[in-house]
Each structure stands twice: as structure tokens, then as C-alpha cells.
């Protein structure tokens, strides 16, 4: 069984329960995807499959990539990702479809994507430094402060937090709850936010370290004293 699928972030919305509880949610177009290539433990050292996201956008491939798709017997896809298989599961055949039906409402998933790039940022925004006083002529507002001793070791130690490029990195959000699965429109709605901007591509996989979903316990009414 396939553990994951390629999705495209549509945007955020709200989901209401029957009792009026509201959940912030993200809508993801999960697939449809096709199996482009299968990797085996005997040939490649590990077991996985390469998925292609079936999209309406036209793609122009070079000759080697065209041969790759021709061998699989599937149309070229612009977005391709590699996903793992469940332990002991049989790998799907090349050309088979992978749909949002691999997920069910109520289960936990991990979402992997590229976060929004924020450019060069200072230590206050990048590392949440408190900064200095804002008044009384402190002249120390958003500066990083000391970065090491001068006598020993007379250098800046590795890993020192400083200003630099922020965001635009691969990010994984763990244990998001699946609120809805719309098989007709290939949509998966998860609770909370996911990395990246709308129209960005992500991988949705079954949670590696799934947390148990807590069920609210209703207290029994106490008996009135006689």
C-alpha cells in the first residue's frame, strides 16, 4: 500500500461540527497521481515508487524524460515525487493510479512542503531575540549583542545564531487530523495550516508517529443527596 500522495495547496477555510465547534482547515487537491517508476530492494537497495501529479498544465520534457514516461506507458507529468510503501506491502504496478482514497476522515497525516521565503531577516524575527530597550537612548534595539569572547577562544563558535536567509526550506508538519475526504473532487481537508503558499505542491503521507485522537469524556451527572 502507498503511504503518500502528491497534493497541491488550494487554500484555507473553516469546518464546523454539528455542535458549532469551528476548525481552521486547509484544502489540498490530492492527486490524481500515476505510478511512473517503481524501485525495488534488489535493484535499488530500497523499496519506493515515483508518483506523477496529473495536472492540466502542459509540460515540455527532454528526450530522456520522454523515454522515461514512454517506458511506463503514462503521459508526461510536470511534478514528480518519490514516496515510500508500507512495510511488507506489495508495490503498485507502473501506470496504476493513486487517489485520495488512501486516506480516511479522522486519521493523522504528515504534510511535507517548502515554506514561504522571507528573504534576509535579523535575529529578532529569525530567532525570536528579545532585543534591547526601545527608549532612553539605548541605541540597542534589534541588534544581536555579543557573539563570543575576545580572549578565548577568540573566534565565533559554530552554530551561533545570527541574521540570514529565512524560510524557503523543506518543512514537515506532523500529526494533522484529516477532517474531510472528497473523492469526487480529489480533495483532502486537514486541520490547521501547512507549509507554503496556495498553488504550492506538497506530499501528504500517513503519519509516521501518529498521536491518538482524544475522545471527549462526558461526565456523568451526580446523584442528588437525599
Helix (DSSP H) and strand (DSSP E) numbers for the chain = 3, 12
- At 24 the pLDDT is 92
- At 125 the pLDDT is 95
What Å distances lie between residue 31 and 6, 51, 126, 186, CA to CA?
Answer: 6, 10, 34, 6
Contact 52, 34 (CB under 8 A): yes
Mean pLDDT per segment of 10 residues, for the chain of length 226 residues? 88 89 92 85 83 81 84 84 78 82 89 93 94 87 89 90 92 91 90 90 87 60 64
Distance between CA atoms of 3 and 26, rounded to whole angstroms? 20
- At 189 the pLDDT is 93
Compute CA 138 distance to the chain's CA centroid, rounded to the nearest angstrom.
42
Contact 111, 170 (CB under 8 A): no
Q: Which of 204, 188, 210 is nearest to 105 (CA)?
A: 188
Contact 1, 85 (CB under 8 A): yes
Q: Which of 60, 50, 68, 47 is nearest to 6 (CA)?
A: 50
Per-residue buried b or exposed e for 89-127, using 16+ beta carbons within 10 Å of the residue's own CB: eebbebeeebebebbeeeebbbbbbbbeeeeeebbeebe
Give the cell for residue 73.
Answer: 506507458
Sign for the pseudo-dihedral over CA of 49, 59, 188, 114: positive
What are the E-state strand segments in the chain? Answer: 4-16, 22-30, 33-39, 48-53, 79-84, 97-98, 108-114, 117-121, 164-167, 170-182, 187-191, 201-206
Q: Three-class SS of residue 69? A: helix
- At 45 the pLDDT is 82
Percentage helix, strand, coil for the chain under 3-state DSSP, each rounded to 5 = 10, 40, 55
Amino acid at each position: 500500500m502507498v503511504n503518500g500522495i502528491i497534493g497541491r495547496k488550494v487554500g484555507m477555510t473553516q469546518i464546523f461540527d454539528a455542535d458549532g465547534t469551528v476548525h481552521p482547515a486547509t484544502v489540498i487537491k490530492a492527486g490524481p497521481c500515476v505510478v511512473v517508476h517503481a524501485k525495488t530492494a534488489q535493484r535499488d537497495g530500497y523499496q519506493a515508487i515515483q508518483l506523477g501529479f496529473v495536472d492540466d498544465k502542459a509540460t515540455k520534457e527532454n528526450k530522456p524524460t520522454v523515454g522515461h514516461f514512454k517506458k511506463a506507458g503514462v503521459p508526461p507529468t510536470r511534478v514528480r515525487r518519490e514516496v515510500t510503501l508500507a512495510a511488507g506491502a506489495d508495490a503498485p504496478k507502473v501506470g496504476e493510479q493513486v487517489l485520495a482514497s488512501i486516506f480516511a476522515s479522522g486519521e493523522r497525516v504528515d504534510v511535507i512542503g517548502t515554506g514561504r521565503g522571507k528573504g534576509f531577516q535579523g535575529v529578532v524575527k529569525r530567532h525570536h531575540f528579545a532585543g534591547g530597550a526601545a527608549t532612553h537612548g539605548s541605541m540597542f534595539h534589534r541588534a544581536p549583542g555579543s557573539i563570543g569572547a575576545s580572549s578565548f577562544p577568540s573566534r565565533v563558535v559554530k552554530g551561533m545564531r545570527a541574521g540570514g536567509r529565512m524560510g524557503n526550506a523543506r518543512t514537515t508538519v506532523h500529526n494533522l487530523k484529516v477532517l474531510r475526504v472528497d473523492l469526487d473532487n480529489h480533495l483532502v481537508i486537514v486541520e490547521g495550516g501547512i507549509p507554503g503558499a496556495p498553488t504550492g505542491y506538497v506530499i501528504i503521507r500517513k503519519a509516521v508517529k501518529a498521536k491518538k485522537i482524544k475522545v471527549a469524556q462526558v461526565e456523568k451527572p451526580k446523584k442528588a443527596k437525599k
